[in-house]
Structures are given as C-alpha cells and as structure tokens.
Structure 1
Amino acid sequence: MTARVVVEADGGSRGNPGPAGYGAVVLDPQTGAVLAERADVLGIATNNVAEYSGLIAGLRAAGELGARHVDVRMDSKLVVEQMSGRWQIKHEGLKPLAREAAALARGFERVTYKWIPRAENGRADALANSAMDGTPVSRNGPAAGGTAADASAAVAGQGSGAASKAGTTSASAGATSAAARAGSGAAPATQGASAPGGWVPRVEAPTRLILVRHGETPRTAEKRYSGRGDVPLTDRGQAQAKAAAGRVGLIADDVAAIVCSPLTRTRQTAEAIAARYARKPILEPDLIECDFGTWEGLTFGEVSAQWPGELTAWLGDTSLAPPGGESFDQVAERVRGAVAGLRAKYSGKTIVVVSHVSPIKVALREALDGGPGFLHQLHLDPAGVSLVDSWRDGGVSVRLVNDTSHLTHL
C-alpha cells in the first residue's frame, strides 16, 4: 500500500433536501489505480450533508488502507474551504460532520484539500448516483476488475443521472461565486444547506452514546470542586456504579465499546459497567474533568470568599479559567474531538462513555444546540445516565438526560 493516496469525494441530493447519496474513490497518485470505492444512500438530506458524508467515507477508506498522506479533491468549494479552515462553518447541521471529518484527518500525518471542477470529479459523482439509484458500493480495488481508465470511460457516459447540485448552474459558476465571497472577507452562504426540517424517519441505525457520570466520591458528597484530583468512589459510589450498569444493560444488549476518563472514579464506574458486557474499558484522556486549578478540593463558599471577582467572571464567561486551571471552552474543544472520533470509529453502533460533569454537559449542550449558560443550568447527578443518538447526515436526537431511576433504592 502506497503511503500517499488521493481521495476524490462527492455527494448529491435530488431535491435539496431530498433523496441523497455520496461516493468516494481512493486512488494511487502515481498510477491512477483505484484502491477503494465507497458509496451509500443517506435518506433525505441536502447536497452539503451528502458532500461531507462522501469526504468522511473517503477518509475512512484511506485510513483502512494504511495511508499516511491524503490529497483530497472535491468539486464542493464549500467543503474544501471549510475543511481548509478558510471559511467558517455557520450551519449547525454541518458542524458534527466537519468535526467527524477533522477527527479522521488527525489520524494521518498530512491531509490537503483541493477544489477541482466537477468534470474532473466524475468517478465520485458516478458512485454517488449509483448509491441514490439503489446500488451502494464498498470495495477495494478497481470496479469489477477494471482499471481507473475503465471507470473514467464509464463515468463519461453518465447523462441526466448526474447528482443534483441545487442552486449551482455549473461548477465553475459556483466556484466563482464562492471565491467572490471569500475575497470579500464574508463567510460564505451555505448552498441551500440545512438539516432536514422536522423529524425525518430514519432507516439506518444511529450512533448511540450512553453518557454516564461516575458514582459518588468523598468530594462529591461534600460538594467540593473535583477536577483532576484522583479520588476514588465511596461505598455508596460503588453501589451507584453497579446500579448504573444495570440501567445501561436495559438500554443496550451489547455495546461496541466502553470508553472512560483515565481518573480512578470513572475507571471504577466503567469497570462495573464493563463487567456486564465482558469488556475492558478504553481510556480516553480527552474525557477527563475540567482542571479547576487552585479551586480544586474547595467548596463553592470557600472559593466565593477568596476569589469573589474571579468566580463571578468565570460563571459568566466560558472562555475564562479558574486560577491555574482550564476554561469550559477548552474542555469543549477536546470533548468535541473525542466525541467526533468515537462517532467516526463506531458509526452506527452503541458506545458507553463514562465521564464527569463538565464533559457530559458539553456533549449534551452540543447535541441540544444550547448556549453558554447551558453548562450552569443543567444538573447531573452521580451515576446519572443520558442518551444521545446521531446520524451521518447531522441529525441528532437526545433521548434521555440525567436518568436516576436506577438509584431510587440506594
């Protein structure tokens, strides 16, 4: 396997939003040989969602092939500019997909993004149309034993079946318009992009996150700031962890992974859940609690007495950190990356995530599209269970928040 590959990706929607699909092809940059092809239907989605889905599928295929350098080529100016960091991602429905793509990209040594005219992206376009026509593709090597040249010839025969790019009369016209917006310094308008309005029936399994806060610790019981301090569960906390394992078992007969923060209290809670599934917890450092700095181990009253100004400012601004600590914005950044990575790795499966108050609040805030105040307005109990489903088109459904029904007997 060559260390460097080219990924050509595309997606389209017949209606925008409408029946959508994506396609991606991985090529050897020296010979042009087809190394992998991916295509699938998305259900009802927009062009932009389909294009991002094609990129994700291409990056995932390149990773499975062991590539280290990836050159992405797409005829979507929007995706190329956003993934290159030159355009902001303003549409909420695209942000989870962009984060998923970014998490996959971090798995390579180098990823570049280049816009190409639509006429040069025919292979991926044809795969996207094959998906929308009911022919998903997931294979390595040339199509049906053919060569990349054969695939190009087949694409040249595509006619009216080309994926619909609503609102764009031609690739060059779309690129010119996008370039004009970029040159003006204004963030580009999303080309008709919007998540499917209202509730759309789902035909594919969601990626399900079962979010579990750790059980009680001595600091939890005393209502002290408990961040990076590595305190174990109390006896009551151990009982709560076992009860949480039972609640998780009612939600999922099996899980793909049990992931937790590396601190003792989360590992102990995760181990209680893992015992039910005969699995070993996977440690994820980015799921660790916020670093409360010099406030660690203190009560709210003690902090208020010693740092009244700093505490008031911190409560009103998520970009501020406690003295020597970490801001909630910093927590959110690492948690977003961790969650995106889990969704990419375990797409369509169920994952148990055992963490702390701040990371779980961040994950729920992202899912519910909440503002900064959400972090201070949501309460999470020890061993409380929350549930978030998500789909590749950006759809999210929060099904449970801080369920403690399993703790009533303790």
Structure 2
Amino acid sequence: MRELVVEADGGSRGNPGPAGYGAVVLDPATGETLAEAAEYIGVATNNVAEYKGLIAGLRAALDLAPDAVVRVRMDSKLVVEQMSGRWKIKHPDMKPLAAEAARAFPAARVRYEWIPRERNKHADRLANEAMDAGARGEQWSPRDTSAAQVAAALPPAGPPGDAAAGAAKARAALAGTNSPAAGSAGAAAATATPAVGDRSAGRGGTPSGGGWAQPPVPGTASQDPSAAEPAPAPAAPAAVPADAAAGAATGPTAGPDLSTPATFVLLRHGETALTPEKRFSGSGGSDPELSEAGRRQAAAVAEALAARGTIQHIVSSPLVRCRQTAETVAARLGLDVVVDQGLRETDFGAWEGLTFAEVRERHPEDLDAWLASPKAAPTGGGESFAAVARRVAAARDRLAAAHAGRTVLLVSHVTPIKTLVRLALGAPPESLFKMELSAASLSAVAYYADGNASVRLLNDTSHLRR
C-alpha cells in the first residue's frame, strides 16, 4: 500500500487576523513534492488556519491516492494531539474543523506526528505566501512564489489625496506623451478584469446590503481627464472574509453566496483649505480641519444618509477632517463613531502641503522613483504605496469580518477608498487613472462570505447639488 506524507501549517497575522494555510503532499521515499495547496482565508485564528491546512492536505492526498496510508506531520501540538485522540477538543470552533478533517481521509489510515517548526518550512512558506496574496487582495496560486512577482503585481503609483489636479497629465508628460491618462469612472468598471476564479461578475445588481445596489447617479463621475488622480492598491479583487468569512470558496464549482453581505459605504471627507489648492494632504502633515465648505458638505451628506436610513455603524480615519465629517453624520443618525487607524491617508513625508508642481521642482528624482514604483516612499520618510495597500487590505478584512451582514459607513480619504474600489473590481492598474473621487462623495462596496465583492456605487455627489 502506498504511503504519502502530508505536511501542513497555518498562520494568522494578529490571531485573530488575516490568515492563511499551506499544505504539501510528499513522496516519503524520494521527498518529491506531489501536490501543494494554500489559501488566504480572511480573518481567523492560528488554530483555525492550521486545521484548514490539515484538511486541504488530506484532501490533496485523497485525490492523489485514495487507498494510501498517510503520515501527517505538523508543528501544531494542539492539532496533532487532538486529531490523535489524546487531547479533548473543547473549543466550539475547533470541533467542526476536527470532524471535517476526520472525514477528509479515512481516519484508520492516517497517523499524526509532531515536528519542530524548522522541519515544517515548506508548509509554513506556503501559508505565508497565501497571507501575502491576501494582503494584495488575491488568492494564492502556484505562481505566487517570489517577492518579485508580488512587486510586479502592484500598480504604478501616482499622487493621491488632495493633490489631484493634473496628476494624470503629469504622469503622461513624464512618460513622453501628450495624451491624458484618465477618463471616466465608468470606463474603469468597463475595463475591469476579474482574477482567476472570481465569480462576482453578474452579481453586481443583487439587491442587498441595505439598498446600495443601484448604479452610480448619472453625471457623478467626472469626464474631465485632467481631474483624475491615481491611488495605490493591491493587485486583484478582494478575497476577504468577505471578507465576512473565514474560508472563502475558490473552486470553480462553488455556488454563489446569496446571503446578506457586509456593505461598506465609503465617504470621502469634506473639503479642507488644502483641497481646492490641490496640495498633498496625508497623515504626516498639519492635519487640517474642515473648511466652511467642507462643513456644509458634511451636513449635506448627513441629511442624505439619514433619508436613506440604512447605515448601522460608522468607522472613521483618525485624521481630523474625517472625524469631523463622521461626527456630523453620526450626530444626525444617532450613532457613535469608531476610529480605525487603517483608514488614514498616506504619509507624504516632506511633500505634505506641497502641490505636485512644487514637489517636481524640489524633489524631482524622489518623485520619479515614487511614480515608478509602489515601494518608493516620498522624501523624508513618507509611506510607500505598497505599505498603504497592505494596511488598507488588513483594515478591510478586519472590519468586514466584524460587520458581516451589516451596512457600515467608512469615512476615509482618496487613497484608501480607491484602494477598496480597485480591489473589488479586480481592475488593471491603469484603471486607477480613470476614477475620480470628489470631496464628500459616496461610494459603496459589498463583500460576500464566499470571497466575492461587488461595487455598488462610485463617486456619488448628487447630495451636494440639492
């Protein structure tokens, strides 16, 4: 009878936090890798991820040789002892997972062995690759094996935040062309390409998530190419716990999730004094308050949301302009405001308060590097777009898991909001130049428990024209 070795591992960056597992099936005689499996499962604990890794490894072994005997090697003492029957399973979340593992391969032909972590490096690597993919908004695939591929998947960066005007044209000029690099928000949706395994196409009109299912109000997305601004984001649509869910379905035969999604209504803060001047305004500068115009915008959006009546929770960036916007809405709706650090704007370092032209004049080499690579940070210790993308994806996972089936208002900035929209669309990097996000605008994204996402609204400013 053939023998197979299964090595499995799982991890969580936060426990609970963004989690993933890895599993490998080996030939015990040659050490040859026969099969690999890994998956980003959203927000979960280490133990949940470890059990899911075990289940995936056993299923892979069953596919290879249903009549084999299997030796499972893991560095999780808990899983090994519980599955060997020596430790009682007390935690309610572990019982169904242990039962599923027992069914994944005939239990009489499986034995378990604990190994130290240093001997479980293959499965550990796969689990970390899966978590890295999740941080980019992707699911793991066998090609996801190098840092270079991660970097290549990220989009080119451009000036976000309040430094919007002329950014796309500036990038085109830097590239030696005179053609504008931006268009309508509708074009972004039209050019979006779903990632492999994405099943969200065709579900965008499903009425759910508190009624945020209608298309954007006509005319709310700018048609002026010079007004568009880029923002960073991970490279593919959100495979979040849909994020409400640990363990998103990825197989081609998995059915769509029709349960109520977690819906994020995304509100960009109202104007500050820096907004009409198109200056970089991130999290590393003076933290300006709302201007008089910004306060009027916040009041207008509060009335619009009160009329709609679907917001159940409010979460805000810690920056003053967002908190003031959020508190205006909260006072009208009778809700509290929770602050989440993950929603803050990029730290633009020495560029804070400058226009794009001023940065070009003072720091031309740093600006070129920043435009060319998401890993490059602004002058003076600013925050790279790659770092921002990871932070925003982690906040998305955390909040969607905490508010499954609920409608939540997230009050944030251009970079985080565009990141969430781009992830949900699975759009190519250049689509970021085809979206505009106006001050006090509303967008909406719904996250399903199967890992799919649906953009429901983009840059709605109709409430500002009443």
TM-score class, shorter: 0.5 to 0.7
Structure 2 residue aligned with 1:16: none
* Partner Cα separation in structure 1 for residue 37 and residue 373 of structure 2: 22
Structure 2 residue aligned with 1:199: 202
The 3 A distance-change label for structure 1 pair 268 and 370 is same
Runs of 5+ in structure 1 lacking a partner? 1-54, 79-86, 121-139, 143-147, 157-161, 165-169, 173-177
1:288 offset after TM fit, Å?
0.7
Give me the CA root mean square deviation.
Answer: 4.3
* 1:105–1:111 Cα contact (<8 Å) kept: yes
What aligned pairs does 1:170-209 form with structure 2 within 5 A after superposition? Answer: 188=142, 194-196=197-199, 198-199=201-202, 203-209=258-264
The 3 A distance-change label for structure 1 pair 369 and 251 is farther
* 1:210–1:248 Cα contact (<8 Å) kept: no
* Partner Cα separation in structure 2 for residue 384 and residue 73 of structure 1: 35
- Letter aligned with residue 457 of structure 2: L
* Partner Cα separation in structure 1 for residue 394 and residue 446 of structure 2: 17
Structure 2 residue aligned with 1:361: 418
* Partner Cα separation in structure 1 for residue 404 and residue 141 of structure 2: 30
Runs of 5+ in structure 2 lacking a partner? 1-9, 25-35, 63-69, 71-89, 112-121, 130-139, 145-195, 207-256
- Give the one of 431, 447, 459 matched to 1:390: 447
Percent identity of the aligned residues?
39
* Partner Cα separation in structure 1 for residue 340 and residue 361 of structure 2: 35
Structure 2 residue aligned with 1:326: 383
Secondary structure in structure 2 of the residue aligned to 1:335: helix
* Partner Cα separation in structure 1 for residue 358 and residue 434 of structure 2: 21
The 3 A distance-change label for structure 1 pair 251 and 310 is farther
1:206 offset after TM fit, Å?
1.2
* 1:252–1:350 Cα contact (<8 Å) kept: no
Cα shift readout 1:15-57 (whole Å, capped 9, x = no counterpart) = xxxxxxxxxxxxxxxxxxxxxxxxxxxxxxxxxxxxxxxx99x
1:276 equivalent to 2:332? Answer: yes
1:262 offset after TM fit, Å?
0.7
- Give the one of 51, 54, 58 matched to 1:115: 54
Aligned length: 278
- Letter aligned with residue 204 of structure 1: S
The 3 A distance-change label for structure 1 pair 88 and 406 is farther
1:292 equivalent to 2:348? Answer: yes
Structure 2 residue aligned with 1:223: 278
Cα shift readout 1:288-313 (whole Å, capped 9, x = no counterpart) = 11000000001111111112232233
Worse-matched range after superposition: 392-401 or 243-252: 243-252
Cα shift readout 1:318-370 (whole Å, capped 9, x = no counterpart) = 22111120111111100100010001011111110000111111111111113
- Give the one of 261, 267, 272 matched to 2:323: 267
Bigger relative CO (Cα 8 Å, ≥ 6 apart): 2
The 3 A distance-change label for structure 1 pair 265 and 155 is closer
1:204 offset after TM fit, Å?
1.1
The 3 A distance-change label for structure 1 pair 115 and 356 is same
* 1:73–1:115 Cα contact (<8 Å) kept: no
* Partner Cα separation in structure 2 for residue 316 and residue 341 of structure 1: 30
- Scaled by the length of structure 1, the TM-score of the pair is 0.57
What aligned pairs does 1:98-247 form with structure 2 within 5 A after superposition? Answer: 98=41, 100-101=42-43, 104-105=44-45, 112=50, 115=54, 117=58, 188=142, 194-196=197-199, 198-199=201-202, 203-228=258-283, 229=285, 230-247=287-304
* 1:318–1:372 Cα contact (<8 Å) kept: no
The 3 A distance-change label for structure 1 pair 390 and 155 is closer
- Letter aligned with residue 380 of structure 1: L
1:337 equivalent to 2:277? Answer: no
1:377 offset after TM fit, Å?
3.9
Structure 2 residue aligned with 1:52: none
- Letter aligned with residue 338 of structure 1: A
* Partner Cα separation in structure 1 for residue 436 and residue 418 of structure 2: 9
* 1:69–1:111 Cα contact (<8 Å) kept: no
